[in-house]
Structure formats: structure tokens, C-alpha cells
Structure 1
Amino acid sequence: MRHTTAAALALVLLASPVLADEPYDAAAEAQQQLARIAALDDAGPQLNAVIVYEPEGPNYANEASEAGMPLDGRTVLVKDNIETFEWPTTAGSLALRDNATGRDAPLIANIRANGGVIMGKTNLSEWANIRDNRSTSGWSAIGGLTRNPHATDRNACGSSSGSGAAIAAGFAWAAIGTETNGSITCPASVNGIVGFKATVGMVSRTHVVPISATQDTAGPMTRTVHDAALLLSAMAGSDPLDPATAEADTHKTDFTTGLDDFSLAGVRIGVMRNQVGNVAGVTALFEQALSDLESQGAVLIDIEYDWPDGFWGRSLTVLLFELQRDMAAYLGTLEDGSMPDTLADIVTFNRENSEKELRWFGQDLFEQALETTDEAAYREALETNLKATREDGIDRLLAEHGVQFLVAPTTGPAWSTDLVNGDNFGGGVGAGSLPAIAGYPHITVPMGAVERLPVGFSIFAGKWQDHEVLKAGAAYEKARTAELPTPSFDPWKPAE
């Protein structure tokens, strides 16, 4: 299949949508998705969202659909820091390019058991964007640079950049991302899709390349809230190898139930005013989103919250200490003797392969992690920041103001990608670090666009409130009045 213009490529994406009342043809959808990958990822704008994909996907989709399981043969792309038995799991690094373990992460096994088809692996910010302070999100030595389908010279955000771009481009029904601090919600926001970061402990992290046992979790990235809820229902559950998930089976449910019936009438919602930021277009969209909530009967309560002194320094201490500890634990499960054993081995590998690994940015965070070994300091930082985000953070804000949810814009519009100078976050937009560090559920739902660049609307709440957050996301999705942008597959241009 060959297309000569971005407009023609966009038609591939938009052709033949499946309506809610039509029977789902899993094989036909998978075939169209393969065509889109060939036209938009391998050729055309070369989004570089997908590292490897399954050419037999349509056949597997047909088989899974005939089995009558909940996912009905729907296709799922997987961030390449999550193990699947078919392909190596690289975390984007040449150090793990041959990391073919032949095993499925439990969350992947759960998806297959529920009738999902693993369609391939998505690109990511290398090592989930923890290698260097000056990194460019969406770049890895394995996959190159992921491009944003809405503006190919703009960033797809990290670290689940490939998952976000792939779903925006229609390469699969859904994708799996992972988040430590914003790595599901940011790429979902800037790519104009739904992203759900589950309560830490709802989804197993076994056989997932780690950063932080305290904060890491996987979650669905989809085009609708219903689809996110359906995929979460399939992937969630307790895992004896991951102690954090001990209560997951207690809180797991069919997360799609009640989405259509949830009413915002009388629901009190806290508005995180200090986290709206200073990007005028984002503020205007956010005010429109708040009006949409009020039109459905929601009661909005303005909330003032400031990050505590020393918060960000303590957060880095926790991440770096857990990185060197948890990475060694993961690497210790690999049977291939050619794989690195420790974070120090990875640092050495990068130095020895600096032309390919370190051309665009270094590994200062990896090197700092090797020196972050004071366990007492780590414990103090961990306890202080968990208290700041839980007891003195989300829990306190919900209780003091009598609100069920907290809302804010997710992040600003995608910035221009710059491999030389790195990322350009700005505008002070978003409160996602609160639920990320607390380990609480957080959904982002498309809110509209600023100059054709998507922006998301964040909703979060307390621990194990995943189902309620999904319901609120569905209610906002239904109430939303802003027009959503369509991917252009072209470089960014000002709106006419």
C-alpha cells in the first residue's frame, strides 16, 4: 500500500470506523491496522511508534474472536519495557537488544487469556526516560525518534511515546504504557487519546523493566474511556510475585459497568487552581471543560495547593535509590549471560557504545543513581513524600473540601522536538505528580486543542478509586463540547 500525501494517509486512519451497534470484526480491524502501520510508521511520515509488529495479527484476532472472550480479538500494542514471549524486551536500549526471555509478563498473560491479541511492541523514551536530565522524550537507540501524529515535528512525550502516537494513528485498538511520573498521562494528553494510570498495585509489574517499585505501574492507552476500562478489566489482578498487588483481586471488577449511567449531578469536584499553569489556550480549554461539568450538575470547588519545600529533591532521591536497586533485581531474572547484571554494567555499556547511545544526551541520572546508596536518607525521603502526597495531599484535599475528585489540565501542548537541546516542558501545567507519587489512579481524557495540538483533562482521586475515576472520565467525555483535532501526519502549521 502506497500513499503520496499526508491527506491520503489520514484517510487510511479514518476509513471504516466501527460503530457501537455494529458487530466487531476483529480480523478486518487488525488488517486495517497493519495497513496503517505500513503506510504511516514504516513509510510516509515514519512515526517510529512501532518497533516490531505481528504480521499474523488478523489470523490471531479471528481465532481469539471465535473463542468468545471479553476482548473479542482486539489488538493491543505493548510498550517495549514489558516482556512478551514473541520478541525481545529492550527498554529502547542496545544493551537489551537481545533480551528475548520467551516469557509473558503476567499482565500480558491476562490480556491474552481474555481474548486480546498482542500486535507488537512500541517505541519509548529509552529506559523510560530516567537516563538523563537533558533527554529528548520519545527517542531510543533501538527505535529512533517517535513523532507526534498531530504534528510530526512536535514531541510525543515520554516515556510511553510510541504507545500514545500509535493509538492516535490507529495502529491498534489499544496500547499499554507504563508510568512512574507522567509517562502514561503526558503522551496520552499530547497525542489526543485517553490514558489511565491505575492505582499502584492494581496491575502486576513482574517482568517489566523497572524504575521505582513505589511508583511504577502499567495502564491502558485508548481512544475512549470505555476501551480503557475494558482493557484494565482484562489486565488487572493479583500476582504472587508482586507484593504490591496483594489487594488487586479485591478491588478488580468489570470496570466498564456503570460508565454510561454515571451522573455528575451533585458530584463535588475540586479544581486545582495553582496547577492550571500560564498557557492561555490551555486555561481557556480548561474553563470550557469546567463549564461542561457544571452543565451536568457538578459542583466545582476551587482548591489551592502548593508543592511542599524540598519535594522535588526528595522525589529524585527515591527514584534514583529504587532505580539502582530494582534494576539489579530485574536484570537478575534474565538467564542470558550476555545481559548486563547491574545498573553499573549498563553505564559501562553506554560509555563503550557512546556514538550510538550517548550522541544526543548523556546518562547523568544513571550515574547519580550509582551514588544514591544511603538507605536511611532514602527511607526518610520516601516516607516524607508519601505523606505529602497521600495523607497531607490527595486524601486531605478530598476530605477537607468534601470533594470526590480532583481535576486539572494534564499538561501543555506538545513542544517542538529538539534532539540537540532536549525537552522543553513549560507553563507550569498539571498536577499529575500528586497521584503518580501517591500511587493513586489518574485518567486523562482529550479536552480539545491549542492551535491544533491536543491537550488533556486530568481527573484523579484516592487509592483504589479506579472505577470511580473511570466513571468520572466517561461522564466528562460525554459532556465535552470542545472540538477534538484529527491527526494531520504533517509538520505543525498555525491554524488558519
Structure 2
Amino acid sequence: MTLRRLTVYSILSLGCALLPVVASAANKMTPVPDHSDELAVQAQAIRRGQLTATALLERYQARIAAHNPALQAVIVTDPQAKEAAARFDALKKRRGALAGLPLLLKDNIDAQGMVTTAGSLALADNLRQKDAPLVTRLRDAGAIIVGKTNLSEWANLRSSKSTSGWSSAGGQVRNPYAPERSACGSSSGSGAAVAARMIPAAIGTETDGSIVCPAAVNGLVGLKPTIGLVSRTGIVPISHSQDTAGPMTLTVRDAAMVLNALAGSDPQDPATAQADRRRAHDYTAGLSRRALRGKRLGVVGKLSDGYDAEIRTLYQHSLELLRAQGAVLVPVELPNPDDIEKDEMTVLLYEFKADLNAYLAGTPDSVQTRSMADVIAFNQQHASQVMPYFGQDLMEQAQATGGLQDAAYQQAAARARQKTGKDGIDAIMKKYRLNALVAPTTGVAWPIDYPAGDAVAGSASTPAAVAGYPHLTVPMGLVRGLPAGISFFAGAWQEAALLKIGYAFEQARPALPAPVLNH
């Protein structure tokens, strides 16, 4: 995916119009329980026999039916979900990290019995007969897969003028806080569905910004894990060096619960070889209001540039809150993101072609688009449906690249990793003895405008995305009735530390109001 600075996001989904819903005024809000851990509360009720998975599933299916037509966040529901919930309820012991809890998957993630479209009509016949390993892990943890979420078509990497959240398969995802505004991409449907309380948690994917941006502008917690902590097998790819799936939830504790299920090694994905050894035994352990005491946080100056006065004021209040909770704030700078983005885009274009060709080669025989070249031709042949607002210049640039043995690719990849990793995040954290780095995640949601494309004020996603390091966004409040997020990121395998920092911040700030939806 790409933000307008050509900062990149990730991956996809398809969308059927399902429901009618949202309040048009962004400032019409209603309070919700302070820091309500929806997943944690529901899991406890299920384990105690106070709630069944079937009843919980029906509750969320009703909300999807009520609100999705207006938001177009859910592309398809799984007809097998009710049977799966009934099977769980029949168990004598209701166990698992996600015992009986309903989840949605971004529609670039394979799930048995459902089509995986990546938001494109070119994959309308991509009916999968096998779960992606991460989906198997979720089911083994007791999760009930309710369906799939819409996304930016081809994870925003089809066109430099793309509009986040639009796909030919699913239509335009809309922000529940203000439906005329963007839900950000590419995991826009996952973000909007959780924000609208159509589901308590969803899985997004990110290449650069595609979890943390939609989480931030929809008022959610979003975690992009270290590359290799979560399997990428069975996910429509952009970049094997930057792609990863991760949780999008209402609270930090809920994100930790989902990560407990997601994290782990996959023999089919060599990047995950260290996952079992590196993962925390329990990411919810140690979450404490006091976790910020003595923590040294690097405040990244350049990543707070480009925002309006209200965002800057909210961010400064958030920094003061971190300090009041015992954090030590240290001004720091990372290598200029503008110096990294050219190399990043080179890497993404090369890897998009190679990785997508490999995925398409393994699709069912019913899929006629067997390569990126086939997808480009399909788009040209169906331009009125597939390209009504923007073209496919990035896909065409990717198709024009050579192989992964090209010196241009290998040199760009090495430079990007060095600048963001060893000479960037790692060096700064070591020099100043930091526990994490902090910056605004991005600006508030912008108006949907097809001729202009996305209007992103700024982004903190690129350093961690290119380095392959973890990045957590947590809501910091509202600006003009619209959510804004604060980012915490660090070196590889530091998810547990980031979750502790994010939890302490979350518990200290005021509750974030939910969007008001018309019923």
C-alpha cells in the first residue's frame, strides 16, 4: 500500500454492500465504557458459561446487517460461522486464548470456503480450500471467523492516485466517525468494522502503514508485528520484506490477546524461523498502569512535522501525559524518511511482481489471472468497472522490473534496511538507552476525493515498516470529532515492551467516544 507520500501500506479484501448506518456529523458522539476490553470481558463470560459463542456471533451478525450497507466494511460473511460457534458451544471445556470470540479477516487472507479477492474483481473466482496458517492458529485458539473485510484494491499499490478503502470487489469503505471521510488503507474495512462495533477485533495486514493508519483514524489500537513473528503464507502479497498481518482492536489488552494466537513459526514461511523462540509466552502478562515509570522514550522530531495546530496540541498533551506517568522523554531524530522512500518503492515494486506472481501461480484453476501481466490486462479489459477513478501506473512499473537478482533491487533493499534498522532505530535506541520511539501516527481522516486521491498529513509508519520492526498505535483522543493516534515503535521482537507502554498510556488518557451509528 502506499500513502500519498508513497509511504506504503498493505493488502486487501472484497466488499459486498451489507448495511445502512452512520451519523453524518463527525462531532455526534456517545461515550462508551472507559477502556472496555471487549474481547477479554467476552472471553471470561464464555468460559464461565454466562455467554455462548452462538449468542455472541448472532449479536455481531445483527450489527453487521444493520451497519455495513453504509460503511461497506465487510465484504462477505462466512456461512460456516454459525456451525463453528455451535461446535464450540458443544465442547465440555471452552478453552483457547480466543475462546468462542468472533473475528473478521482482511480479504487478502485465505480462509477455507471463502473467496480471497485482495479487493480485485480479477480474483473473484479465487475460492480457497485451505486456511492460511494464521487462520488455523486463530481457529485453534477458539476464534469464530465471521467473514472478511473490504480493503484498498491490491493494498493501494495499483496506482499512485488511489483512494484508500476503495476496491472494485467491495466498493468504498467509509469512516464510522464521519462517513464522508476515509477509513485509510489498506486495512480500511478491518478498521471501520471494529470502530463501528460490528466485530470486537479484526486482522489487518501492513506493508507500510496499512494497519496503523486505519487503526489511528478509526480510533483503534493497531499492532504491526516484527516481520517473522506471524506467518504470511496464504496472504496475497506485496513485499516479502515488509508484509505482515496483525491485530486491530478497541484496546491494548485485546490486541495482546489476539497476538497470543497469531504469533508463531510456520515451516512454509522461512521468515518465521525464530518466532516460537522470540514470541512472548503471554503478551497480556505485565500490562500495568505503572509500566511507564522510568521508561525512556525517544520523541522523534521530524515525524511530528506537517500536522495542523490541533493535532500538535493533542500530541503535546499526550507527551505530557507520558511524562506524568513517569516516562523520560528524549528528543531524537531518525534518518530522513524522504531519503528512504525512493529505495523502499524500488524494493516494493520488484517484490510486488515476484511475490504476486508466486501467489497467483498457486491459485485454483478457475482463476484466469495467473500473473501480474494477466492482472494488468484484466484491468484494461474491464476498465469501466476496475479503474473508474484511478489507473494502474504502479502495477505497470512493477511489471517493468527485472528479477530479484537485479543489482538495483539488491542495493536498494540493503540501503533501506541499513538506514532504518542498524543506522536508524537500532542506533538511536542504543545511543540514548531508549525503550521505544514515539510520534503521531498520522493526521485525522481526510475527505474521500477520487480526483485528488488521498490527502495524508503525515505518517510515522515508514521507519519500522522498512526495518521490519514492530509498531503500535494507540488512540490519543479526538480532533474536531475525529480520532488521532500516537505511535510507539522499537527494535525487532519488542512487541511485549510496546504493549506494556501502550497499555499504561491508554489507561491514563480519557476514554475515547464511540461513533454514533444510525439504526
Question: What TM bracket, shorter-length normalisation?
Answer: over 0.9
Aligned partners of 2:339 and 2:360: how far apart in 1? 32
Per-residue CA distance 1:316-365 (angstroms, 9 max, x = gap): 10000000001111111123153312111100000001010111100000
The aligned residue for residue 372 of structure 2 is 343
Find the partner of 1:137 among 142, 164, 170: 164
Q: What amino acid is the match of 1:188?
A: A
Structure 1 residue 74, shift from structure 2 partner = 0.5
Return the letter of the residue paired with 1:275. L
Q: Distance in 2 between matches of 1:3 and 1:162?
A: 15
Distance 1:11 1:452 in 2: 8
Cα distance, 1:435 vs structure 2: 0.4
1:34–1:55 Cα contact (<8 Å) kept: no
1:77 Cα deviation from its structure 2 partner:
0.2
Correspondence 1:240 to 2:264: no
Q: Return the match for 2:358 from 329, 354, 357.
A: 329
Structure 2 residue 236 is the aligned partner of structure 1 residue 214: no
* 2:462 paired residue number: 433
Residues 34 and 309 (structure 1), Cα distance of their counterparts in 2 relative to 1, 3 Å cut: closer
Partner of 1:405: 436
Gaps of 5+ in 2: 1-17
* TM-score normalised by structure 2 residue count: 0.88
1:493 equivalent in structure 2: none
CA deviation map 1:167-211 (0-9, x unaligned): 001111210000000000000000001100000000000010000
- 1:60-86 deviation per Cα after TM superposition (whole angstroms, max 9, x unaligned): 335335432221110110000000002
**What's the C-alpha RMSD, in Å, of the aligned pairs?**
2.3
- 1:34-433 matches, cutoff 5 A: 34-42=61-69, 46-54=70-78, 57=81, 60-64=84-88, 66=91, 67-252=94-279, 253-260=281-288, 263-277=291-305, 278-307=307-336, 310-373=339-402, 375-426=406-457, 429-433=458-462
**Shift in Å, 1:4:** 8.8
Residue 256 (structure 1) shift: 1.0
- 1:218-269: CA deviations, max 9, x gaps? 0000111111111111011111111000000101221111113652111111
Q: How many Å apart are 1:489 and its aligned residue? A: 3.9
Deviation at 1:473, TM superposition (A): 1.1
Contact in 2 for aligned 1:64/1:116 (Cα 8 Å): no
Letter in 2 for 1:412: G
Partners of 1:452 and 1:485 within 8 A in 2: no
Contact 2:29–2:514 at 8 Å: present in 1 too? no
SS in structure 2 of the partner of residue 396 of structure 1? helix
Cα distance in 2 for residues equivalent to 1:251 and 1:64: 30
Provide the residue aligned with 1:23 in structure 2: 45
Question: What displacement does 1:281 show?
Answer: 1.1
The aligned counterpart of 1:473 is 502
Q: How far apart in 2 are the matches of 1:212 and 1:2?
A: 33
8 Å contact from structure 2 (residues 19, 64) kept in 1? no
CA distance in 2: counterparts of 1:182 and 1:310, whole angstroms? 17
Aligned residues: 481
Does the Cα contact within 8 Å between 2:335 and 2:424 map onto a contact in 1?
A: no
What per-residue deviation string (whole Å, max 9, x for no partner) do you get for residues 388-423 of structure 1? 000111001101111110000100000000123211
Q: Contact 1:87/1:100 (CA < 8 Å) preserved in 2?
A: yes
1:449 corresponds, among 478, 483, 490, to 478
Change (3 A) 1:391 1:103: same
Deviations along 1:136-175, one digit per CA (max 9) or x if unpaired, are: 0000001000000000000000000000000001111210
In 1: Cα distance, 2:146 partner to 2:273 partner: 29
* Residues 250 and 3 (structure 1), Cα distance of their counterparts in 2 relative to 1, 3 Å cut: closer
3-state DSSP of counterpart to 1:351? helix
Could you tell me whether the CA contact under 8 Å between 2:476 and 2:486 is conserved in 1?
yes
After superposing the two structures, state which structure 1 stretch, 297-306 or 81-90, moved more: 297-306
Unaligned runs of 5+ in 1: 491-496
